[in-house]
Amino acid sequence: MLRCLLLLLIVFNFFLGFSQEEKESDSIADYYIRFEGDSVLQSSIPLDEVYIFGKLEFADKKEKLRYYILRRKTIKVYPYAKLASERLVELNDSLTKIKKKRHQKKYTKKVQKYIEGEFSAELKKLTRTEGQILVKLIHRQTGSTAFDLVKELRSGWRAFWYNTTAKAFKISLKEEFKPEEVHEDYLIEDILQRAFTYDKLERQKSVLDYDYAVLSNKWKNTTPKKAN
């Protein structure tokens, strides 16, 4: 009888130790993933930031109509702001590699003519409100107002921005994108984030420092402030 008890105790301890060892080795830290084309093993999978959008709610039909008009205009002009940001980055990168100012000026004029041919004709077709949204989105994408870009860049760019934007639209080139302070700017950001998620627009992250989720929570309980 004593031998049977000892045998059962030994067997029990064996299985107890085995189960503990199995439990410890069965942790997520022991599983590694190798992505195709990458020789480094990863212990986790990085995921893109995902937003869960609330249902759109409007106080009345007028507010609803205003939102959908704003959405149509924002989706229309966003590609131009994205393109302007990309061209600005390319221009600045290229200018840093060109030492002589004479060559920098020549290169800038060349880029200016290329951009004018690329989308200036389309810009002239925009309405005043579409132009103002575009100016805001340029600030969102570059961190600089259209006015500051005019000052910083060469005379060709100055003529381009004034001729195709300010004079055509009679808008403020100093307008900034402030979704934390202006409700309409938050709505523009909301429109963009929804469009990015549903693949209606190609995502380009804003260079400005704000968090869309924080903004959404703020504006739920804040009386909207209209843009000037």
Q: pLDDT band for position 4 (50/70/90)?
A: very low
Q: Are 215 and 221 in contact (CB under 8 A)?
A: no
Amino acid at 167: K
Tell me: pLDDT of 146 over 60: yes
CA–CA separation, 184 vs 146, rounded Å? 19
> Which band of pLDDT confidence, cut at 50, 70 and 90, is reported for residue 172?
confident
Q: Please choose, from the candidates 4, 182, 171, 5, the residue with its C-alpha nearest in 3D space to the C-alpha of residue 77.
A: 171
- The verdict on pTM exceeding 0.75 is no
For residues 191-220, give the mean pLDDT: 91
For residue 196, what are its two tokens? Answer: 């990015």
pLDDT interval class at 125 (50, 70, 90): confident
Render pLDDT for 24-36 as a digit per residue (tens, 0 to 9). 444 444 555 655 5
Give the pLDDT of residue 87. Answer: 80
What is the crossing angle of helices 61-97 and 183-197, to 10°?
80
In the structure encoding, which two tokens stand for residue 228, read together? 């000037």
For residue 74, the tally of other CB atoms under 10 A from its CB is 23
Query: What does DSSP assign to residue 198?
Result: T
Task: Name the pLDDT band for 183 (thresholds 50, 70, 90).
Answer: very high
Work out whether the CA dihedral 179, 180, 184, 187 comes out positive or negative.
Answer: positive
Name the more confident of 22 and 163: 163
Q: What is the pLDDT of residues 46-74, one digit of tens each?
A: 555 555 667 778 889 999 999 999 999 99
Q: Average pLDDT, stretch 99-120?
A: 73
Count other C-beta atoms under 10 Å from residue 193's C-beta.
Answer: 18
Share of the chain above pLDDT 90, in %: 28
Residue 194: predicted pLDDT: 94
> How confident is the prediction for the chain on average, in pLDDT?
74
From residue 42, give the alpha-carbon distance in Å to each of 22, 23, 35, 36, 50: 22, 21, 8, 12, 21
CB contact set of 216 (below 8 Å; sequence gap of 6+): 54, 190
Fill in the amino acid letter for 86: E
User: Residue 26: its pLDDT value, please?
Assistant: 45
| 128 or 193, greater pLDDT | 193
Half-sphere exposure of 169 (CA within 13 A, CB side): 22
- CB hemisphere CA count around 53 (13 angstroms): 14
